Amino acid sequence: MSKKKDEKKSINDMIIEEAVKQFKEGKIQNSLDVESYLDGLLQPLMQKLLDAELDNHLEYSKYEHPNNKVSKNFRNGYCKPKKVKTKYGNILVKTPRDRNATFEPKIIEKGQTKLTGFEEKCIALYAKGVSLRDIEKTLKEIYGVKINKDDISRLISTVSEEVEAWRKRKLKPMYVFTYADCLYVPIKDDITTSKKAVYVIIGVDVDGYKEILGMWIDKSESSSFWSNVFEDLKERGVKDILYMCSDGVAGFKGSLERVFPKTQSQRCVVHLARNIYGLCPKKEAKEIIGNFKKIYQSSNMDEAKIQLEFFQKEYGKTQKRIVKKVEEFMVYLEPLFELPIEIRKCIYTTNAIESVNSALRKVTRGKGAFPSESSVYKVMYLRIKELSEKWKKPMQNWEKIRKQLVSIFGDRYLELSLIHI
């Protein structure tokens, strides 16, 4: 055993021995007393660590006389004591200062009012799709403390209220582009386990910012449940949607028109590309998908037809099923070429939906069956929360797109844009 481990063990032993001593003396009688004892240890520990950080920064300790030739920076007292929230309650700490104001503490950073601990670490790992067993193992390796996976599960369950609040939150009155999708996840239901459909809608608001509007779970994908999803969006404040992209499931368009009659429904390119990829021989997949992209990324319909003819000639004899799917898609493609290229790209671009799908599949794949729908909502919500942190900028060329939308939709767009502001 290394010296470092021996030191760590001896410190743990000292803490335990002191706790036992206080128990025998009647100072510790219940769990609240234990927390109070740990709180009493935490405050001086954090203070000593902050002081030690400044020692390292100045390159001399508190009680040493600095060599002016080596150091031109000195201690400068302490900041006003601040309250820091921990799992054991609040503690007061004083951040030491240096004369040159170059000290940036890492133990408790400036402005930090909460200690990051097991809770945040557990939830962050769970959000990335790490299993409870692996979280248990990771925490033991990092902190040297064994935490039962049942305790971790109970901790993660505390996000349930946050998930429900997010699913019921008010939405904006208008979304310009929306992308509807379903993915299937195995969920236990009493005795049996079955794959259920998780409905997801991504929206782009009038300022060009992306957000996930919600998640819904049902036994399978159906037009009737899509109606429920659209009604939920309406109840939560959505008054209008300009474009909705989907995989074209039977009855989808009718369900959308009943709730949002003015919304233009568009077949989603990413779904078609995914279907085509599944039919491709592995060696030819990249080439076939590349030639399919040339069709829908053409500058106009005439060019698209030329690219389609090439596609038919190239794969008509060997990949008849793929060619048929592409030919059927041309009906949905033609209206796109009536739109400016910037808007067209927003509709057929696959980046938004592909990145979300990939992230959500990553956290659900390899986990086995989820014990309940609630557990699916939790793990997906935590991943969505992480994704949303990256969506801090509007879509590219948004000012130009906004002007084009005003030109196409006029007052319909402007009125709800003003409500949004």
Of 48 and 412, more confident = 412
pLDDT of residue 260: 97
pLDDT per position as a tens digit, 11-21: 556 667 777 77
Alpha-carbon distance 248 to 180, whole Å? 10
For residues 46, 50, 56, 60, the Cα torsion angle rounded to the nearest 10 degrees is -110
* Pairing mode of beta strands 210-218, 174-189: unpaired
Same domain, 138 and 284: no
User: What's the pLDDT at 391?
Assistant: 87
**Which CA distances in Å does 319 have to 57, 95, 197, 276?**
67, 69, 30, 10
Report whether 222 contacts 251 (CB < 8 A): yes
3-state secondary structure of 168: coil
The pLDDT score that the predictor gives to residue 316 is: 92
pLDDT digits (tens, 9 = 90+) for 104-142: 887 778 887 766 555 556 666 665 666 667 777 776 665
Q: What is the pLDDT of residue 306?
A: 95
Q: pLDDT tens digits for 251-295?
A: 899 999 999 999 998 887 877 888 888 899 989 999 999 999 899
pTM listed for this prediction: 0.65
- Residue 172 has a pLDDT of 95
| Residues 46, 52, 53, 55, Cα dihedral to 10° | 160
**Percent of the chain's residues with pLDDT above 70:** 77
DSSP of 268-288, one letter per residue?
-HHHHHHHHHHHS-TTTHHHH
According to DSSP, the residues that pair with 174 across neighbouring strands are 240
Query: Is residue 205 over pLDDT 60?
Result: yes
Do 312 and 258 lie in one domain? The reply is yes
Q: Above 90 in pLDDT, residue 408?
A: yes
- What angle do helix axes 411-420 and 398-409 make, rounded to 10 degrees? 130
Query: Do 24 and 55 reside in the same domain of the chain?
Result: yes
- Same domain membership, residue 238 and residue 193: yes
> Does residue 54 sit in the same domain as residue 200?
no
Considering its fold, how many domains does the chain have in total?
A: 3
Same domain, 198 and 329: yes
pLDDT on residue 38: 63
Q: Which domain holds residue 243?
A: 171-420
The reply to whether 351 and 204 lie within a common domain is: yes
3-state secondary structure of 376: helix
Say whether both 14 and 57 belong to one domain: yes
Residues 164 and 187 in one domain: no
Residues β-bridged to residue 96: 78
pLDDT in tens, 357-391: 888 888 777 667 888 888 889 888 888 888 888 88
Based on the fold, state whether residues 384 and 263 are members of the same structural domain.
yes
Last residue of a domain, one of 100, 135, 168: 168
Helices (H), 128-182: 132-143, 149-156, 160-167
Amino acid at 355: S
Statement to judge: residues 152 and 275 lie in one domain: no
In one-letter notation, the amino acid at residue 180 is A
The residue among 37 and 246 whose pLDDT is bigger is 246
Q: Which residue type sits at 336?
A: L
Name the H helices within 268-410.
Answer: 269-279, 285-296, 301-315, 320-333, 341-348, 351-364, 373-388, 398-409
* Nearest in space to 44 (alpha carbons), one of 77, 97, 116, 92: 92
User: HSE on the CB side for 236, CA within 13 Å?
Assistant: 17
Amino acid in position 93: V
Of 125, 150, 168, which residue constitutes the final position of a domain? 168
Q: Cβ(244)–Cβ(263) under 8 Å?
A: yes
Task: Examine the domain organization and report whether 7 and 92 are in the same domain.
Answer: yes
156: pLDDT strictly greater than 80:
no
Residue 207: pLDDT over 80:
yes
